[in-house]
Amino acid sequence: MANKDYYAILGVPKSATQDDIKKAFRKLAHKHHPDKQGGDEAKFKEANEAYGTLSDVDKRKRYDQYGSADGPAGFGGGFSRGGSGGFDPNDFQFAGGAGGFEDLFSDLFNGGYGGGRAQGSRAGSDIQVDVEISFMDMVNGVDKTVRLRKTMECRECDGTGGKRGSKEVTCKECGGAGQIRQTVRSILGTFAQVVPCTKCHGKGKRHAEDCVTCHGAGRVIGEEEVAVHIPAGIDDGQTISVSGKGSAGESGGQPGDLYISIHVQPHQTLERRGENILSRFHISFPQAALGDSISVETAYGPVRIKIPAGTQSGEVFRIKGKGFKHVRGYGQGDHLVTVTVVVPKHLSGKEKKLVEELRKVAEK
């Protein structure tokens, strides 16, 4: 983990904002999602790992300083073995003992927590997916089913990690502390680093027999279908969040959330502008000059409108209440019709005479 450049994985600079990081992750998640044709599960997991660190302010600070989100908090790092001026850190040891240097640096390398505390549960990762809807779905709203491949709570053991009927016992690996000590080398010497126990996942207890399905992890990779309501009036590019439908948490932690980015297919004749719907309608010169009643196709069916005599090309007519419903609150936009007067390119002899007569009248 310390050898990975999370910024390079997401394709953002170290100065990137949290919003930049989120946008970069969503783009990669959409590109590499395993359920998509041509998806890359390894790259998807790598991007998810990078986002899990850089999206968390505290983890990002530790990563920037030590190259690892699990590195020491509150103590300088970044030393290399070379350049120590002849000082060999391997020859420098702090003596153990309660309340001595070892406990001090154990706390520092554990992120400021006491050495006897068990590692807490961890929330699951968020998931981002893209959903395509039609223009009419955007107008009326639609229910969609999203199929996810994600980390889920193991159903066989209900997330406990133990075989059904198996008793919980004190973890032999950590002695019930939920943590174990590892050796960490720095310019100041070799210190004991306290890290979560990998056998009991920081809980201090484990079942006598592991679950045969998840092998003690409490989580498995599986598929789930999530029903999602996309409200009327939602716009292209907007995102819907579904709480608790992301990846399962670790050791009883809260699950992540599901974020759904909406993409709207263009309509052949209708266009959106804010809460209004736009369309165009071609009328003939006689209709424009003498007036007429025309039928306009709206998102809610045909509506007849009156074209007054003397209408000019480019004039806009408003059909109230036939636009988009407001996603939040009351009200609804309108349908705006732009009329274009069509001038015929080819006229018959009779038509030419009539136009000539009209010109003579207009010139008087």
pLDDT score recorded for residue 168: 84
Q: Is 189 within a domain?
A: no
pLDDT score recorded for residue 322: 96
Q: Which position has the higher pLDDT, 287 or 168? A: 287
CA-based nearest residue to 339, from 277, 272, 282, 279: 282
Token code pair at residue 121 = 């549960």
Q: Which position has the higher pLDDT, 275 or 162? A: 275
Residues whose CB falls within 8 Å of the CB of residue 99, separated by 6 or more in sequence, listed in order: none
For residues 272-288, give the mean pLDDT: 94
Contact yes or no for 170/159 (Cβ under 8 A): no
Q: Is the model's pLDDT at 332 over the cut of 50?
A: yes
Q: Which position has the higher pLDDT, 240 or 175? A: 240
Q: What is the CATH number of the domain that holds 358?
A: 2.60.260.20
Q: Is 288 within a domain?
A: yes
**pLDDT tens for residues 182-217?**
777 766 667 777 787 877 777 788 888 888 898 888
Token code pair at residue 319 = 């059909």
Contact yes or no for 79/186 (Cβ under 8 A): yes
Q: Which position has the higher pLDDT, 116 or 201? A: 201
From residue 6, how far is each of 16, 44, 48 by CA, in Å? 12, 13, 10
Q: Catalogue the long-range contacts made by 8-13 (C-beta closer than 8 Å, 24 or more residues apart).
A: 9/46, 9/47, 9/50, 10/47, 10/50, 10/51, 10/54
From residue 307, how far is each of 60, 281, 294 by CA, in Å? 63, 11, 7
For residues 336-351, give the mean pLDDT: 88
Token code pair at residue 208 = 């006598």
pLDDT score recorded for residue 207: 83
pLDDT-derived band at 111 (thresholds 50, 70, 90) equals very low
**pLDDT tens for residues 16-37?**
898 889 888 888 887 887 666 6
Give residue 335's domain range.
Answer: 271-363
**pLDDT tens for residues 352-363?**
888 788 777 777
Q: Is 127 within a domain?
A: no
Q: Is the model's pLDDT at 76 over the cut of 80?
A: no
Overall domain count for the chain: 1
pTM of structure: 0.57
Q: Look at 232-241, 247-256, 277-286 and tell me which has the smallest mean pLDDT.
A: 247-256
pLDDT-derived band at 96 (thresholds 50, 70, 90) equals very low
CB atoms within 10 A of CB 188: 15
Q: Is 294 within a domain?
A: yes
Q: Is 149 within a domain?
A: no
pLDDT score recorded for residue 314: 95
Q: Is 333 within a domain?
A: yes
pLDDT-derived band at 112 (thresholds 50, 70, 90) equals very low
pLDDT score recorded for residue 307: 96
**How far apart (Å, rounded) are the C-alpha atoms in residues 184 and 106?**
10
Residues whose CB falls within 8 Å of the CB of residue 321, separated by 6 or more in sequence, listed in order: 332, 334
pLDDT score recorded for residue 188: 63
pLDDT score recorded for residue 81: 35
Torsion of CA 229, 235, 236, 237, to 10 degrees: -80
Q: Is the model's pLDDT at 118 over the cut of 70?
A: no
| Length of the chain counted residue by residue | 364
The whole-chain average pLDDT of the chain stands at: 80
Q: Is 314 within a domain?
A: yes
Q: Is 354 within a domain?
A: yes
Q: Which position has the higher pLDDT, 215 or 262? A: 262
pLDDT-derived band at 291 (thresholds 50, 70, 90) equals very high
pLDDT-derived band at 163 (thresholds 50, 70, 90) equals confident
Torsion of CA 154, 157, 160, 162, to 10 degrees: -120
Q: Look at 43-52, 84-93, 165-174, 232-241 and tell me which has the smallest mean pLDDT.
A: 84-93
Neighbour-count burial of 203, counting CB atoms closer than 10 A to its CB (0-12 exposed, 13-18 middle, 19+ buried): buried
pLDDT score recorded for residue 194: 79
For residues 239-251, give the mean pLDDT: 88
Contact yes or no for 148/129 (Cβ under 8 A): yes
- Classify the phi-psi angles of 102: left when phi > 0, otherwise alpha if psi is within -120 to 50, otherwise beta: alpha
Show the CA angle centred on residue 130, arms to residues 129 and 136, nearest 5°.
Answer: 140
Q: Is the model's pLDDT at 65 over the cut of 60?
A: yes
